[in-house]
Structure 1
Amino acid sequence: MNCFECAGRGETRPSVAVCTTCGAGACLDCVRPTTRDIRHAVGFSSAELAITTTRELHCTPCHSAISAHQGALADLGG
């Protein structure tokens, strides 16, 4: 699989990741790694929660869109 963003510019570069948002292939220059906290139950009771930080990989356009959305939410106080 080749990088979708580079292909749009007429370049052929191998993908090293798949965007978790849109599924496009992304090369080393176009991939944007981020982290995400996942809350999950611990033990037998769902009242006790733990947080595990995981890695998410996004292509450049999805990363820009997510960052803009999170910035807008922060501006609204949410």
Structure 2
Amino acid sequence: MNCYDCLSRQRTTVAVAVCTRCGAGLCLDHAHVAPEIVHESAGTGVTAHSRNARRFTCGICHEAEI
């Protein structure tokens, strides 16, 4: 898979991640990495894990979330 943002600029760059919102392929230059709290149901409540997961987004989705 190639980076979608690079292809729109007539460059071919291998994608190293996928946007979790829109599914676009992303290279290291276009990937935005943020922590994500992982929740799961446990008994009668919801619990959060002590460590955060990684979440990759493209520039468009990153800006839309701010």
Question: Normalization by structure 2: what TM-score?
Answer: 0.84
Whole-angstrom CA distance in 1 between matches of 2:44 and 2:9: 49
Deviation above 6 Å: which 4+ runs of structure 1? Answer: none
SS at match of 2:44: strand
Whole-angstrom CA distance in 2 between matches of 1:59 and 1:11: 17
More helix by share: 1
Q: CA-to-partner distance for each residue in 1:28-76, whole Å, 9 max, x for gaps?
A: 000001111132233xx223x4212221111111111112xxxxxxxxx
Letter in 2 for 1:56: R
Percent identity of equivalent pairs: 36
Aligned to 2:47: 50
Say what the alpha-carbon RMSD is for the aligned residues: 1.3
Letter in 2 for 1:23: G
SS at match of 2:28: coil
SS at match of 1:23: coil
Whole-angstrom CA distance in 1 between matches of 2:22 and 2:28: 17
Unaligned runs of 5+ in 2: none
Unaligned runs of 5+ in 1: 68-78
> Which structure is larger by alpha-carbon Rg, 1 or 2?
1
Whole-angstrom CA distance in 1 between matches of 2:55 and 2:2: 19
